[in-house]
């Protein structure tokens, strides 16, 4: 199994080096579980507390017993192996179940940790901004799952299959009502009139840890963030637009289809602060 190019792969399943999970695992059958994608810097995970909190909240909402915090941290350190830069993905599923949706009473969660190489993106993505498109694939509204980083990512898979052009860094996704929610693997912010706006995620979308950090950093800098429904028109009328996730930090958007955007100094400052946190400073 070649997980990440030249890098020796490291995979732990329930604490043991392994390359496979059981064929009855409910994560495979139903997407019955959660995941976290975590940036590693010098073997550490600067955003760990936020990832851990989201994982625990997700487990509570889905009725999955959360992993033991110290065990998970220890496994994360093992898998990260002191790497200068890497990505560790944690998957927690409800565990193995019989045929049928009803979880067995004695089900035990499965814990999978995988290390990947650090994705190399062009430096211009941060300095000049990225070009993005709108996807045709939409996000279903379901308050029960909204915000969770659950394993069911077929909507994002379909959306990401819509383009191959490497010049397009991301695709924006709307809900069935046409409101902008996020990009395939990022949250989205619009800056206009000295204020940030980011879509309300109470019906769909992933509540990103970087989104949360940006809202806090903005508040610390006296910049208000409105969390509200965001139409395409409002997004396209913004002065600046940017994307966030816990690996990239902040990517300014320079173009959405034919619409060009500037990169306001406020956004550059915010991005610099987020990068400091990502570097563990």
Ligand X SMILES: Cc1ncc(COP(=O)(O)O)c(C=O)c1O
CA distance 85 to 63: 33
Q: Is 186 in the site for ligand X (CB under 6 A)?
A: yes
Q: Out of 55, 113, 130, 185, name the contact with ligand X by CB under 6 A.
A: 185
Q: Is 246 in the site for ligand X (CB under 6 A)?
A: yes
Residues taking part in catalysis: 37, 149, 182
CA distance 245 to 219: 18
Cβ-contact 56, 63 below 8 angstroms: no
CA distance 207 to 193: 24
Binding window for ligand X (CB under 6 A); candidates: 159-167, 203-211, 251-259, 260-268: 203-211
Half-sphere exposure of 32 (CA within 13 A, CB side): 21
The interface with ligand X within residues 206-225 (CB under 6 A) comprises 206, 208-211
CA 7 to each of CA 17, 82, 91, 265: distance values in angstroms, whole numbers, following the listed order: 16, 13, 20, 38
Nearest distance from residue 186's CB to ligand X, in Å? 5
Cβ-contact 259, 233 below 8 angstroms: no
Tally Cβ neighbours within 10 Å of residue 159: 24
Tokens found for residue 211: 């989104």
Q: Is 187 in the site for ligand X (CB under 6 A)?
A: yes
Binding window for ligand X (CB under 6 A); candidates: 9-17, 93-101, 106-114, 205-213: 205-213
What angle is formed at CA 12 by the lines to CA 6 and CA 18, rounded to 5 degrees? 80
Q: Out of 93, 225, 240, 245, name the contact with ligand X by CB under 6 A.
A: 245
Nearest distance from residue 162's CB to ligand X, in Å? 15
Q: In this complex, which beta carbon is closest to ligand X, that of residue 107 or of residue 230?
A: 230
Q: Is 182 in the site for ligand X (CB under 6 A)?
A: yes
Q: Out of 93, 110, 138, 156, name the contact with ligand X by CB under 6 A.
A: 156
Decide the pairing of beta strands 195-199 and 225-228: parallel
Q: In this complex, which beta carbon is closest to ligand X, that of residue 107 or of residue 185?
A: 185
Cβ-contact 37, 114 below 8 angstroms: no
Nearest distance from residue 48's CB to ligand X, in Å? 12
* Residue span 48-67 as binding mask against ligand X, x where in contact by CB under 6 A, dash where not: --------------------
Q: In this complex, which beta carbon is closest to ligand X, that of residue 91 or of residue 186?
A: 186
Binding window for ligand X (CB under 6 A); candidates: 17-25, 68-76, 79-87, 238-246: 238-246
Nearest distance from residue 181's CB to ligand X, in Å? 9
Give how many residues touch ligand X by CB under 6 A.
14
Q: In this complex, which beta carbon is closest to ligand X, that of residue 37 or of residue 198?
A: 37
Binding site for ligand X (CB under 6 A): 37, 156, 182, 185-187, 206, 208-211, 244-246
């Amino acid at each position: 199994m070649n997980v990440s190019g030249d890098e020796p792969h490291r995979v732990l399943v329930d604490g043991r080096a392994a390359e496979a999970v059981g064929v009855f695992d409910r994560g495979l059958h139903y997407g019955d579980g959660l995941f976290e994608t975590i940036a590693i810097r010098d073997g550490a995970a600067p955003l760990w507390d936020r990832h851990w909190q989201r994982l625990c909240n997700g487990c509570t909402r889905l009725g999955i017993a959360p992993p033991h915090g110290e065990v998970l941290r220890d496994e994360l350190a093992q898998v990260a192996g002191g790497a200068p830069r890497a990505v560790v993905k944690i998957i927690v599923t409800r565990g193995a179940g019989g045929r049928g949706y009803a979880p067995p009473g004695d089900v035990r969660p499965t814990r999978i940790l995988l290390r990947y190489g650090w994705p190399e993106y062009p430096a211009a993505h941060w300095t000049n901004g990225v070009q993005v498109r709108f996807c045709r694939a939409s996000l279903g509204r379901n308050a029960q799952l909204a915000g969770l980083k659950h394993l069911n990512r077929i909507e994002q898979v379909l959306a990401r299959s819509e383009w191959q052009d490497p010049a397009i860094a991301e695709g924006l996704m709307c809900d069935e009502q046409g409101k902008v929610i996020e990009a395939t693997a990022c949250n989205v912010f619009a800056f206009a009139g000295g204020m940030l706006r980011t879509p309300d995620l109470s019906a769909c979308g992933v509540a990103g840890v970087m989104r949360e950090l940006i809202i806090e950093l903005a508040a610390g800098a006296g910049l208000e963030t409105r969390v509200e429904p965001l139409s395409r028109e409002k997004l396209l009328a913004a002065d600046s637009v940017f994307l966030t996730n816990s690996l990239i930090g902040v990517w300014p958007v320079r173009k959405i289809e034919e619409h060009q955007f500037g990169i306001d100094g406020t956004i550059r400052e915010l991005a610099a602060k987020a990068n400091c946190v990502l570097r563990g400073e």
